[in-house]
Every structure is written in structure tokens, then in C-alpha cells.
Amino acid sequence: MSRVKVSSIGVSLDGFSAGPHQSLEHPLGIGGMAMMEWAFKTRTFQSMHGGSGGGTGPADVLAARGFANVGAWILGRNMFGPVRGPWPDDEWKGWWGSNPPYHVPVFVLTHHARESIVMEGGTTFHFVTDGADAALARAKEAAGGRDVRVGGGVSTIRQYVLAGQVDEIHLALSSALLGTGESLLAGIDLKALGFELTERLGTEHAMHVVLAKSA
């Protein structure tokens, strides 16, 4: 049975998962990259982005688990790129080059229609203009019983969590202080939504917690 999960989401000490003013130079907003230092150092991250090396410890195990059994992804428009409004052309194809790290269908929420983009390695970006529910339905169908991973950005994750459609959340709490940005969980009652803490693991660069819906 397909499950919906949020994995490897960095959270600052003051509760933000993205800094302000996202741009081409600042994909996670100003200061946002500091929350993902733990991931950058893992072998999983290096391998997914064409690199080599990286650590193979507990943080890497958690990073790799986030990709296991995933049959489709959902991304918000901002997660796909910094372009706003109608697409000016077909030049922008994401942050990740010709071979993105997804290797499965990816459904991008947007208000502006665009033809699907077939990339190397099995990734195809589909642009969904009829809402989050439609994107989730298409993702679950494409996943074929495997999991659907909601990759961000913050507003997209919040939308699915508030709708009660997320089954598991893995957060990496960093030592970064952003001061401002996009808050991931402000105003969300996770307990009322049925979540409970199922795992907790401290590593060199982050405290990892996994929250899952109680049976």
C-alpha cells in the first residue's frame, strides 16, 4: 500500500525550513543551506548528485531510507525552481542538471501549464495545475503501490500535512539560527493529526526525529 512521506527535511533551531528570498543563488533562501549540512556530507547525497565519497554512518542510513521504495515525488513550484509566474520559455528544467536525483515520475504543483519534461535516469517532470489532491492521486497511481515522497517546499509540505495526507515525517534539526524564513510546523497540531515520535537519533550535524501516524 502506498504511503505518503516527508523525508530529510532540515529545520533550524528557530523552526524554519527555508530562509527568506529564494533565488538562483540561494535555492533554500538566504541561510537555508546551513540546515542541510548533514545531508551534504552523506554518501547518499554525493551519489545522487554525481559525486563520490561521503559518510556512510547513521545520517547516511536515514538519507538513503528516504529514497527507498519511492515510486513518485511531489514538488511545489518553488522547489522546482526560482521562476515565478507564467513560464517564459522551456529553458528551466530544475536545479539538478540533465540527470536529476529522482529517477521516477515527479509531479510539480503550479498554476501555469507546461508540457512534461523527460530527463535522463528515469525522471519525468509533470506539471499539475488542478491542485494538490489531483497531484497526489496521479502520484499514487504512478507509484504503483510504492511510496509517494513530498519533497517540498515548505508550503507544499504544510498543505499535505494539514490535509491529513502525510503518513511519516523525518526532520533533521540543525544548530542553525535563521531568524526569519518559512516555518514548517507553526500552527500545526501534529498530535491531533495522529503523529507520534517513533525514532530519535543524534548525529554530528543534526538531531533526527521521525514522526509517524499511530496505527
pTM of the entire predicted model = 0.94
Percent of the chain with pLDDT over 70: 99
pLDDT at 170 over 80: yes
Describe the crossing of helices 154-162 and 132-143 by its angle, rounded to 10 degrees. 90
Give the pLDDT score at 15. Answer: 95
Mean pLDDT of the chain: 93
3-state secondary structure of 125: strand
Give the pLDDT score at 215. Answer: 61
**Residue 39 vs residue 6, higher pLDDT:** 6
Percent of the chain with pLDDT over 90: 76
User: How confident is the model over 98-146, as pLDDT tens digits?
Assistant: 999 999 999 999 999 999 999 999 999 999 999 999 999 999 999 999 9
Q: So where are the chain's domains?
A: 4-84+99-213
**Contact present, 68 and 13 (Cβ < 8 Å):** no
Give the pLDDT score at 146. Answer: 98
Show the cell assigned to 162.
494539514
Residue with cell 514538488: 75
* Protein fold of 4-84+99-213: Dihydrofolate Reductase, subunit A (3.40.430)
Type of residue found at 168: E
Please state which of the ranges 15-24, 39-48, 83-92, 114-123 shows the lowest mean pLDDT.
39-48
Region 30-43: mean pLDDT is 89
